[in-house]
């Protein structure tokens, strides 16, 4: 696909269907810097709100999340702490094993050169994914061994709570950040002048099937946008 053609992949038409029947059409585009920052702020507020609730022993969120903590075995507590820290290990892996600069194809490459180039890119991607996965697994195993040596179970429970709270807040941030971008990037018209939803709350109240359709379409646009950098 030419560079010119790729420039038009930052927006798309999305048909809302019931079977083969088109019920309506919306137009999706990647949000700009202002909406991106607005989405980030909304996500940070949502994450902070959830964190406060999870830290409050009297809240429904805290009770539902940690109702069984006293019955968890030491091994289960260690696994919970480690699971909550996976994102940290992933960040470490990305820093320790950065992506290497990809060599460029020569001008007017032959078909064979293009075939070999795509094969090389796929192998590099798979090799890096395997390297990252092995690093994360190694760090997780080391952490489990370290935690298993702790004799203070009460301290381990507190570590478990801290880890799970961080994990749930991270998930909440990601959910709201993504959904808010979709809300701000969905329009009724192909000139992108009128938002399809009057508010973020209206988007949240829409049918799950509709939200999933728009989320999937938006992720596809983001992936297309990444291609423009290559």
Question: Where are the chain's structural domains?
Answer: 3-227
Distance CA 153, CA 161 (A): 12
Q: Give the tens place of pLDDT for each residue, 66-103.
A: 999 999 999 999 999 999 999 899 999 999 999 888 88
Distance CA 62, CA 199 (A): 29
What's the chain's length in residues?
230
Q: Give the tens place of pLDDT for each residue, 19-69.
A: 888 889 999 999 999 999 999 999 999 999 999 999 999 999 999 999 999
What pTM was estimated for this model as a whole?
A: 0.79
């Amino acid at each position: 696909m030419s560079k010119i053609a790729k420039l038009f992949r930052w927006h798309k038409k999305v048909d809302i269907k019931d079977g083969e029947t088109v019920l309506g059409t919306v137009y999706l585009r990647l949000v700009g810097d202002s909406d991106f920052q607005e989405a980030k702020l909304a996500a940070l507020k949502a994450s902070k709100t959830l964190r406060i609730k999870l830290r409050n022993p009297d809240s429904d969120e805290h009770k539902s999340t940690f109702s069984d903590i006293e019955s968890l075995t030491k091994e289960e507590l260690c696994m919970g702490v480690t699971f909550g820290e996976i994102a940290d290990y992933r960040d470490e892996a990305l820093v320790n094993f950065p992506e290497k600069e990809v060599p460029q194809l020569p001008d007017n490459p032959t078909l064979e050169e293009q075939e070999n180039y795509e094969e090389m890119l796929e192998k590099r991607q798979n090799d890096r994914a395997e390297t990252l996965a092995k690093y994360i697994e190694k760090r997780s195993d080391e952490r489990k061994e370290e935690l298993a040596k702790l004799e203070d179970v009460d301290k381990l429970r507190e570590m478990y709570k801290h880890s799970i709270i961080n994990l749930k807040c991270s998930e909440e941030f990601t959910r709201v950040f993504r959904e808010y971008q979709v809300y701000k990037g969905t329009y009724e018209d192909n000139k992108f002048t009128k938002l399809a939803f009057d508010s973020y709350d209206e988007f949240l109240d829409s049918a799950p099937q509709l939200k999933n359709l728009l989320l999937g379409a938006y992720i596809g646009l983001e992936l297309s946008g990444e291609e423009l950098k290559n």
